[in-house]
A and B are shown apart, each in its own frame.
Chain A
Amino acid sequence: MNTAESLETQQPQQAEMIRVQDLHAFYGESHILHGVDFNVKRGELVTLLGRNGAGRSTTLKSIMNMVGRRTGSIMINGNETLHMKPHHIPRLGIGYCPEERGIFASLDVHENLLLPPTVRSDGMSLDDIYAMFPNLYERRRSPGTRLSGGEQQMLAMARILRTGARILLLDEITEGLAPVIVQKLAEVLTQLKERGMTIVLVEQNFRFAAPLADRHFVMDHGQIVEEISAADLPSRREHLNSMLGV
């Protein structure tokens, strides 16, 4: 199925920020992604849904060139990145938030926040970030891993916003967090969308993702098996639930 083409005819005016075609990814001998195709337009928020092991996190990691080997094509803002070195890819304006959050224990909160090099000049200022996440300001001298899970997730988000990234790849950001924190993250994502960010969300918590997303891609066995737009979601809900096994 070629989801990219069908969408382009619907919304030809929007530029593609991410275009993934026939992406295969391998860890050593194991073949994880089997021809992933999808695209994300500027300012869109899309989700990658699916069961554990469907290849959603691997898709994000493949975009960042963090897997063993990749074939196919990954265009970021018009640039082919398949043969780029890993540290050149973020400089195209991508911020990546890993599933395990990746907060550094040997750095305090402030150092964690300042760690990722800026990739564009128009990132959020420290003042903006501390205004968005007041808890982080209060705890800026604590070692990063002394924060609560929710605060660590805020920090993991905040530090890629400071870099000026315009494309955010967010892996399971609500996992294991209290409902009040999940609510706060939903507000943050809404604000980021208003700022024109392009966001790819890997998510288990469908109730969190549904109201935020423009489109949903369902993955299974290392492929995109279904694309559902926000408008079609109400009528497809039961079908989706059966695919996700919830």
Chain B
Amino acid sequence: MTMIFGVPLAVFMGQLTLGLVNGAFYALLSLGLAVIFGLLKIINFAHGAQYMLGAFAALLGFRYLGINYWLALILVPLVVGAFGMLLERYLLRKISHLDHLYGLLLTFGLALIIEGTLVNFFGVSGARYATPEVLQGGLDLGFMFLPTYRAWVLVAALAMCLFTWFMIERTRLGAYLRAGTENSQLMQAFGVNVPLLITLTYGFGVGLAAFAGVLAAPLYPVSPTMGSSLLIVVFAVVVIGGMGSIFGAIMTGLAMGVIEGLTKVYYPEAANTVIFLVMILVLMFRPAGLFGKEA
């Protein structure tokens, strides 16, 4: 059997795939956080809850309305994104003139309320969401077994990242977003409706989180607390990558997933902390993050 540094190739590749899939989630979520932070300057602590809402909406939509996975993948980000726009319009906007720390506190409070409400109704044990039939099973690649659904998650998440990159870097609306991130007051003086741009941007970031949530539903138990544990890691990823770079958020997300996966192979005890170790190193030597601009 082929070995890599004393580990069977199949085990190595299996953990690498797992790492990439986790990394794809980190990428999607840190991307949304970075987009929101760029324009609103708010650290969106509700991002984990919004990811969880995506998974929950898929679960409940299937249970009570018969909405299948594919439809959920399109509908849920739109619905949760619209919910995000309401939050921005009627809560975040009211405090936008205050220190941005208030935005952090408000979104943190929202996350607790959303989670608490769902715990009240559904408990914390978590429910299973069935993998869509065509994506069940896996492929035997000879050197490893590749579960179809994980391969799909990787493809779908990367496609969404690419779509987001294209929207921001190559379209007129994206140019508004980039310019607004730099100087929103001047954009307003050019006649751009910045408040509307902010609402749409927040909705888009929340929609990305919900999309990740639907992708995650068949992989992990769907429970009200599934987002909060993930969010802490995603914040570390954002700190490592640095705010303000779309490409940086995607690459850092994937890389951290892989580093975490490989740590599981070679030193499993450190798997849960390795990302934070990287974060500390990055903060010591490059405080603006790997892809961030020095302030």
* Interface of A toward B, CB cutoff 8 Å: 64, 66, 86-91, 96, 98, 102, 104-107, 111, 114-117, 119, 160, 163
**Given known contacts A102-B183, A104-B183, A106-B181, A90 and B189 CB-to-CB distance under 8 angstroms:** yes
How far, in angstroms, from A8 to B190 measured CA to CA in the complex? 31
Q: Give the chain A neighbours of B281 by CB distance below 8 A.
A: none
Chain B minimum-CB-distance residue to A63: B189
Q: Contact at A117–B191, with CB atoms within 8 Å? A: yes
Q: Contact at B175–A116, with CB atoms within 8 Å? A: no
Q: Give the chain B neighbours of A87 by CB distance below 8 A.
A: 188, 191-194
Q: Is B89 an interface residue (CB 8 A)?
A: no
Q: Give the chain A neighbours of B190 by CB distance below 8 A.
A: 90, 96, 115-117, 160, 163
Q: Contact at B189–A86, with CB atoms within 8 Å? A: yes
Q: Give the chain B neighbours of A104 by CB distance below 8 A.
A: 178-179, 182-183
Which of B176, B182, B190 has the most chain A CB atoms closer than 10 A to its own CB? B190
**Given known contacts A87-B192, A114-B175, A117-B191, A98 and B186 CB-to-CB distance under 8 angstroms:** yes
Which of B185, B188, B189 has the most chain A CB atoms closer than 10 A to its own CB? B189
Q: Give the chain A neighbours of B193 by CB distance below 8 A.
A: 87
**Given known contacts A102-B183, A102-B186, A90 and B178 CB-to-CB distance under 8 angstroms:** no
Q: Give the chain A neighbours of B94 by CB distance below 8 A.
A: none
Question: 11 more A-B contacts (CB under 8 A) besides A116-B190, A116-B192, A160-B190?
Answer: A86-B185, A91-B191, A102-B183, A102-B186, A104-B182, A104-B183, A107-B179, A114-B175, A115-B179, A116-B191, A119-B191
How far, in angstroms, from A66 to B191 measured CA to CA in the complex? 12
Q: Give the chain B neighbours of A88 by CB distance below 8 A.
A: 191
Number of contact residues on B: which range applies? 10 to 19
Q: Give the chain B neighbours of A98 by CB distance below 8 A.
A: 186, 189
Can you offer 11 A-B residue contacts whose CB atoms are under 8 A? Answer: A66-B188, A66-B189, A87-B192, A87-B194, A89-B191, A91-B191, A106-B179, A106-B182, A107-B178, A115-B179, A163-B191
How far, in angstroms, from A98 to B182 measured CA to CA in the complex? 14
**Given known contacts A87-B194, A104-B182, A105-B182, A115 and B188 CB-to-CB distance under 8 angstroms:** no
Q: Give the chain A neighbours of B175 by CB distance below 8 A.
A: 107, 111, 114-115
What does the 1/0 interface line of B220-258 toward A look like (CB < 8 Å)?
000000000000000000000000000000000000000
Chain A minimum-CB-distance residue to B186: A102
A99 to chain B, nearest CB (A): 11
How far, in angstroms, from A94 to B19 measured CA to CA in the complex? 53
Q: Give the chain A neighbours of B187 by CB distance below 8 A.
A: 115
Q: Contact at B178–A96, with CB atoms within 8 Å? A: no
How far, in angstroms, from A141 to B194 measured CA to CA in the complex? 26
Q: Give the chain A neighbours of B172 by CB distance below 8 A.
A: 114
How far, in angstroms, from A241 to B277 measured CA to CA in the complex? 64
How far, in angstroms, from A10 to B187 measured CA to CA in the complex? 38
How far, in angstroms, from A96 to B182 measured CA to CA in the complex? 17
Chain A minimum-CB-distance residue to B185: A66
Q: Give the chain B neighbours of A116 by CB distance below 8 A.
A: 190-192
Q: Contact at B192–A117, with CB atoms within 8 Å? A: yes
A140 to chain B, nearest CB (A): 14
Q: Give the chain A neighbours of B178 by CB distance below 8 A.
A: 104, 106-107
Which of A87, A91, A107, A116 has the most chain B CB atoms closer than 10 A to its own CB? A87
How far, in angstroms, from A90 to B178 measured CA to CA in the complex? 20
Minimum-distance CB pairs A-B, first 4: A90-B191, A116-B190, A86-B188, A106-B178
How far, in angstroms, from A91 to B181 measured CA to CA in the complex? 22
Chain B minimum-CB-distance residue to A104: B179
What does the 1/0 interface line of B79-119 toward A look like (CB < 8 Å)?
00000000000000000000000000000000000000000
How far, in angstroms, from A104 to B190 measured CA to CA in the complex? 13
B30 to chain A, nearest CB (A): 19
Q: Give the chain A neighbours of B194 by CB distance below 8 A.
A: 87
Q: Give the chain B neighbours of A66 by CB distance below 8 A.
A: 185, 188-189
Q: Give the chain B neighbours of A163 by CB distance below 8 A.
A: 190-191
Q: Give the chain A neighbours of B191 by CB distance below 8 A.
A: 87-91, 116-117, 119, 163
B245 to chain A, nearest CB (A): 10
How far, in angstroms, from A119 to B191 measured CA to CA in the complex? 8
